[in-house]
Amino acid sequence: MVPFFVQILLLKKCETIKKEIIMNLLLTFLIIGALISENRQLVEAESADGRIRAVWKVSPAEPQLSDTILLTLEVEADSTLHVEMPIFGSMLGELEIAQKTEQTSGITADREIKQLIFRVIPQRDGITPIWQTTIHYNDQREELQEKSYLLTLPATELEIKSTVTPESASLDKISSSPDIFEFRSINLLWVILIVTVIAFISLFFLLRFFRKPSTVSLESDLTPQEIALQRLALLLENRLHETDVKDFFIELTGIVRWYIEQQTNLRAPELTTEEFLHEITQQWEHRSALPPELRDRLRLFLESADMVKFARFQPSSDEIMLGIHRAEEFIFQFAPKIIDQEIQS
């Protein structure tokens, strides 16, 4: 039979694996989104010394009037430069700005990348101008802080295509053919396929990892024995015995004493080991709920732990494992059925 605390550790390991799978799934979503949403560079400018570069990008690469269009002003500069991103009003040329987001996408090779991302609404199809853009920056090095520089992106144009061709707009050619509206059917098919695959993968992992475990219950109605074993498993998982053996034995004996208090209704957290054993013996002597051999085993366990807690005794790894096994053995042997049998007799 697998010990209870081992089952707890296995369950914790499954939860860790579940979190890693979910994170990988989210990363897959982001990568697929980036592949679907292709962008195209409109215009770029770079300083003479190459320390700062700016570029306008559009997504999708060939925008149509019905698309959600993203325009991105991306500035890549040395980390020693302080860049002030330009301020825009409600319009970007003839494009209405519906949403604006500023973000720092990362620092690589001592260069920082800043982005202004605009979700724009075109007013019409055809050629739309994008005005000249000026970016202010200065050198953060102490001797050059007061000097300011300019980087200018030249004006450019963006072509917004109509989703309806002139031929299909003619009333003379109306038919039941689905080709009337020239949507990008191939891209749409890929999107539907990818979303379907992701939905099935997500459903599989949700059903597999979010169902209730059948062997170990983590509900709030656990018995004192199950709670004590769970606390013991968590203590071992934290590996406190490798970093602070004194605190480890304080926690270990605390779990055993808490378990005994729950089983005997004894509330004596401040008692010494001798006083604690005496109270248990006095309280349950007439019922023999704590057999002599079990009491002697408990005494040996608590006194050995006291040597570590109060006498600065440094136990070996074998002695630490012996203490763990004694705690687990006592929790299993001093079970509720022992007390119930004695009470009934």
Averaged confidence pLDDT in the chain: 75
* Distance, CA of 273 to CA of 306 (rounded, Å): 8
What residue spans in the chain does CATH classification 2.60.40 cover?
Answer: 38-163
What band does 271 get if pLDDT is binned at 50, 70 and 90? confident
Q: Quick check: 281 pLDDT over 50?
A: yes
Mean predicted confidence (pLDDT) in 119-141: 85
224-344 CATH choice from 3.30.70, 2.120.10, 1.20.120, 1.10.3470: 1.20.120
* Distance, CA of 1 to CA of 334 (rounded, Å): 18
> Percentage of the chain with pLDDT > 70?
68
Mean predicted confidence (pLDDT) in 181-185: 50
Q: Which of 113-127, 188-202, 224-238, 275-289 has the lowest mean pLDDT?
A: 275-289
* Distance, CA of 258 to CA of 265 (rounded, Å): 10
Q: Which of 146-155, 214-223, 324-333 has the lowest mean pLDDT?
A: 214-223
Q: Using one digit for the tens of pLDDT, what is the confidence trace for 308-337?
A: 888 788 888 888 888 888 888 888 877 654
Of 97, 117, 96, 93, the C-alpha closest to 105 is 117
Q: Using one digit for the tens of pLDDT, what is the confidence trace for 11-57?
A: 666 666 666 666 666 555 544 554 455 678 887 888 888 889 999 98
* Distance, CA of 78 to CA of 81 (rounded, Å): 6
Mean predicted confidence (pLDDT) in 170-180: 50
What residue spans in the chain does CATH classification 1.20.120 cover?
Answer: 224-344
| Second CATH level (architecture) for the domain 38-163 | Sandwich (2.60)
Rounded to 5 degrees, φ, ψ at 286 are: -75, -15
For 137-169, b/e burial (b = at least 16 CB within 10 A) is bbbeeeeeeeeebebebeebebebbeeeeeebe
